[in-house]
Amino acid sequence: MPSDQQSGKMWSGRFREPLDPQFETWQRSIVFDWRLLPYEIAASKAHASALCAAGILTKAETAQLCEALDAIGAEFASEAGTAQVRNHATAEDIHHFVELKLAERIGPLGLKLHTGRSRNEQIATDLRLYVRDCIGQIIQGIAGWASALVEQARAAGDAVMPSYTHLQRAEPVLVAHWLLAYVEMALRDASRFADCAQRLNFCPLGSGAVAGATLALDRSIATRELGFDAPTANSIDATSDRDFALEFAEAAATTGIHISRFTEEITLFATSEFGFVDLPESYSTGSSAMPQKKNPDLTELLRGKCGRLLGTSVTLSALLKGLPLAYNKDLQETQEPVFEAADTLEGMLQVLPGFTRALRFRDDRMQAAAQSGYLNAMAAATYLVHKGVPFRKAHEKVGNSVRYALEKGVELGELTLDELHQFGDEFGEDFYDAITLDATIDCHDVIGGTARERVREALDSAAERIAGLARPAVTEAIHAGA
């Protein structure tokens, strides 16, 4: 005879011995999969509809089941309710929990719901729905950050700064151009998430434990009810596939890398050595020891959180690598990294737009840095190119001029024509106009370049693309009722 505890299990029939109590506690996923409750309810209702169409449930039974499922969803939606779910004494996982609650509410009819389905397809479905909803929120968060960057870029106007290669000053660029570089990254991140949402949008329900449902279910019913595009094509794959979880975590990690690069630059630019940006006090902290300090805690924490995001994607790929088909209990371990990636990134995206808006750039310091140190040398060489000098030669002539100016302690524009003529006859009066700060900016007049007109166009294009960011359909079945 199975023990009392055992008889509450979803699989008690075959067993004579109870579970080792420590193993029993340790293997339960209810402690984290409680958050899938709304998805489990929605997927269960969709399954009930399919059972009804197949003649397994009457219309009245289906209605009663769905009502009870909704009532369970409502009963445990609050924070206190959630705590009850995760602390439930016997439920093994969220699927078991809902089954127990259904039986409590409507007796044997509750047990009928498990006809023709397996937890293997249920978890595959719930987790897809969860990830799809997270993606909607994350894309919105990314759009929020990108919009804040665009606002700053518009506010920056024609302000300039040095760009860097090898962390050495390279050429002057518009501050807006630099900010828009991060907008491009954010837009790519959003498209990676949208892509993931599109690829995951197939309904596993009807896949059974591995080989397909043992009832002739019309799979299009649950597919439609849950807002999926089509049923999954192969039951073995559908019950063992966690690519969507991996892709989600990888997209989160890539977004994290971009946020981390941004926050690293801000941290650097906020040092007194750079002095390019004033950290907003509302996002900084002081030192308990050194009274003068204003520390960039927010940027440092965001940079740190990126490590956590990378961790989740590594965890998932390590988990999946080498798993035989189809369902294995290892797959239960894919849930927590997904939750962690979602929580971490959502949290990051909540603070990032406000912080980005609050940044105050020191235009004077940036301009001073962009105006000295021969950052117009490329523009100078380009001037010679326009005079017919081959670029290699132009490079050399300007290089010689720079060396001479360096020795004299002046900028290129401060050399006289006579001095310049030592290095090339081609230098003329118009040279000085060709290497002003404005000219140096505007000579990069290509799509994607920092010329002022190009950046104005880029700003409009970025704003338009942010406004058009696709968001996956939310799980109507859940959010309509909520």
| Minimum gap (Å) between residue 120 Cβ and ligand ARG | 5
- Answer yes or no: 166 catalytic: yes
- From the list 188, 181, 313, the residue with the least C-alpha distance to 253 is 313
Helix locations, 157-234, DSSP H = 175-200, 219-225
Positive or negative, the Cα torsion across 222, 227, 233, 234? negative
| Minimum gap (Å) between residue 365 Cβ and ligand ARG | 54
Q: Which is nearer to ligand ARG, 123 or 451 (CB)?
A: 123
Alpha-carbon Rg of the chain, whole angstroms?
A: 31
The C-alpha atoms of residue 196 and residue 211 are separated, in whole angstroms, by 25
| Minimum gap (Å) between residue 11 Cβ and ligand ARG | 8
Whether 103 contacts 91, CB under 8 Å? no
User: And the tokens for 187?
Assistant: 């837009």
Place of tokens 């020795």: 407
Q: Which is nearer to ligand ARG, 73 or 208 (CB)?
A: 208
Q: Which is nearer to ligand ARG, 14 or 59 (CB)?
A: 14
The C-alpha atoms of residue 281 and residue 359 are separated, in whole angstroms, by 10
Q: Which is nearer to ligand ARG, 331 or 435 (CB)?
A: 331
The SS3 of residue 370 is helix
| Minimum gap (Å) between residue 337 Cβ and ligand ARG | 13
| Minimum gap (Å) between residue 339 Cβ and ligand ARG | 12
Q: Which is nearer to ligand ARG, 269 or 327 (CB)?
A: 327
What's the gap between Cα 345 and its chain centre?
6
The C-alpha atoms of residue 61 and residue 112 are separated, in whole angstroms, by 10
| Residues near ligand ARG (CB under 6 A) | 29, 93, 119-120, 123, 327, 329, 331-332, 335
State the catalytic residue, choosing from 7, 78, 287, 461: 287
| Minimum gap (Å) between residue 49 Cβ and ligand ARG | 22
Residues 6 or more apart whose CB falls under 8 angstroms from that of 432 comprise 413
Q: Which is nearer to ligand ARG, 123 or 455 (CB)?
A: 123
Q: Which is nearer to ligand ARG, 31 or 437 (CB)?
A: 31
Helix locations, 235-362, DSSP H = 235-240, 243-269, 297-320, 335-358
Residue 324: phi, psi to the nearest 5? -70, 155
Tell me the CB-side half-sphere exposure of residue 159, using CA atoms within 13 A.
20
The C-alpha atoms of residue 330 and residue 240 are separated, in whole angstroms, by 10
Tell me the CB-side half-sphere exposure of residue 271, using CA atoms within 13 A.
7
- Answer yes or no: 287 catalytic: yes
| Minimum gap (Å) between residue 144 Cβ and ligand ARG | 32
Beta-bridged to residue 168, according to DSSP, are: 165
User: And the tokens for 247?
Assistant: 């892709």
State the catalytic residue, choosing from 166, 272, 282, 288: 166
Catalytic residues: 166, 287
